[in-house]
Amino acid sequence: MADTIERIEGTENEYISRREFIQKSAVITGGLAATALADSANPSRSYSAQVDPNDPGLSSTEIKFPSTDGTPIGGYLTRPKKDGSLPAVVVIHENRGLNDHIRDVARRLAKAGYVALAPDLLTRQGGTASFATPDDAIAAIRKVDEDTITKDLTGAINYLKGQNFVRSNKIGVVGFCWGGGNSLLIATRNRDLAAAVVYYGRSPKNLDDVQNISGAVLGHYGEKDQPITSAVPKLEAAMKKHGKSFEYKVYPGAPHAFNNDTNPQRYNASAAKEAWDRTLEFFKKHLQS
């Protein structure tokens, strides 16, 4: 059973920019202190990965793979250094693009025994690294349409299917925020996926599209994230209507982006740990059997 959803009024679900943070903090603390506060919340300066990028047990590298229209798409591929083929997971980033946090999430999956590919879905706009600020990346990602996302994610799945170290019939997807919605999107458009995990992502515009899902779906939602979470009961009803496997949990007191440990304003350690444990159990059930 899914947890009961209660509406919480006045919840804010948008990040403020670093510049806005500095300006607002300067009023209270003074310019120098405000800059220090903002820098401490800036992932590029303060983030410490859970899995070392140079972990000796992993093979991790930046790659290019072809989208279905032939466009080379950038990505980050990480996997255990071991013989044989393994299940694989496509990791879809938030609306800020492919950053060190998402690379770290991919390595966490690799440490759990998966081949993980995190595509840069801003490649066609010059790549995530080409943007000076996260706000610039957000503005660019708003221009990426669903058909392009579908082509590029399908390219990622096809790339994994073609690798001799991947079990081609055991591929899943996980996405966060913007990527969570697109995790569900690609699940409705690609029948090669055996499992999909959605972290606080929006439901499909047409809920009847879920009839095209071939794998099981797991959702993680924050109680305080009402713009997203309030729509989940309708998604659940559509899944039931079309006989699809869907389980989810609403985490009490958790906001949007509660898994992102680079954002102290949103990160909820207990919810993130439970959701990650549930994610690993879900993938173990549907991808390792």
Known catalytic residues are 177, 225, 256
Which tokens belong to 239? 């899944």
Which tokens belong to 70? 């032939």
Report the distance separating Cα 276 and Cα 270, nearest Å: 10
Report the distance separating Cα 58 and Cα 107, nearest Å: 8
DSSP 151-203: HHHHHHHHHHHT-TTEEEEEEEEEEETHHHHHHHHHHHH-TTEEEEEEES-PP
Cα→Cα distances 103→82, 227, 228, 231, Å? 20, 27, 25, 29
Report the distance separating Cα 89 and Cα 92, nearest Å: 10
Sort strands 86-92 and 216-222 into parallel, antiparallel or unpaired: unpaired
